[in-house]
Chains A and B, each alone.
Chain A
Amino acid sequence: MASILKVDTITGVTTAGSISITGEGNSTTTNLQQGLAKAWIRANEASLTIGDSLNVGSRTDTAVGRMNVNLANNMANSEYSMVGSQSDDGRAQNCYSPSTSEYEAMTTLTSNQAACDVAHNCSAILGDLA
């Protein structure tokens, strides 16, 4: 029977921030909160705009190829997983300098290893919210 749950907030019973869900193979469970991306962003460094994002309060252009992603809700620590990519040929992207409230997303030309702006600087973080 199909079922629909209408709710605005889901909270664990034993621990508010911990809900187990059954894995696809029906044999193990995984933690829902731990598996959720806590923030993500797609930003245009040329126009200094955010295309779309989650849990990002703002972005700050600190220099060519350097963008601070300022979080709306802080992380619990700076030991979270950061992954990123960018959209232009011949360029590389790295995330750097994570703190509980922000991290830096940088882009570089691979030909001469100089900082450069890109059309789409994308990143996501996974870890523990404060």
Chain B
Amino acid sequence: MASELRVNTLKDASGNNSVATSVVFGGTAKAWADIAAGGASLPDSHNCSSIDDDGTGDYGINLTNAMSSSSHSVIPDVTHDHSSGASSIRVACVTTKQTGSLELKFAYLSSSAVWTQYDIESDGSISVFGDLA
């Protein structure tokens, strides 16, 4: 049977470790995704409907349920072995945030720290925190 619980505060059974449900809900990631090599797909994700390949190292991720504003936090990262030699440092950044989507760019830094966009070799990640619409 489905059930609904309305409560302001959670505590453990001993009455300790009090936490407001607003903190639990606010601290819950509203979306996350594992991005496949080349930005081709999302092997696993939460609240992400699709990914767009907008060019070399340029991807867009669309959310299933939108955020309430574009002021949410998006944390991107890229998976890479930094010991693979020169130009091994990889960088992920968020270029645009909208309520229902976000745009990402991935690059590597050359030995002279020149930013060069590239399609990720292994995978990338995002986590989204903020308020749902």
Contacts and interface: CB of A to CB of B under 8 A. Distances in A.
A28 B65 contact: yes
A106 B82 contact: yes
A113 B81 contact: no
Of A3, A5, A96, A113, most B-chain CB atoms within 10 Å: A113
A97 B84 CA distance: 13
Contacts of A13: 1-3
B77 A24 contact: no
B13 A4 contact: no
A25 B32 contact: no
B105 interface: no
Contacts of B33: 81
Interface residues of B, number: 58
A24 to B, nearest CB: 4
Contact of B132 (A14, A24, A106, A115): A24
Contacts of B23: none
21 contacts: A4-B11, A6-B13, A6-B15, A21-B28, A23-B131, A24-B131, A28-B132, A31-B46, A34-B29, A35-B32, A79-B43, A80-B125, A81-B127, A83-B76, A92-B89, A94-B90, A96-B79, A106-B83, A110-B89, A127-B32, A128-B44
Interface of B: 1-3, 5-15, 18, 24-26, 28-30, 32-34, 43-47, 65, 68, 75-83, 85-91, 109, 111, 113, 122-123, 125-127, 131-133
- Which 6 pairs across A and B sit closest by C-beta, in order of nearness? A23-B132, A35-B28, A24-B131, A81-B125, A79-B44, A79-B43
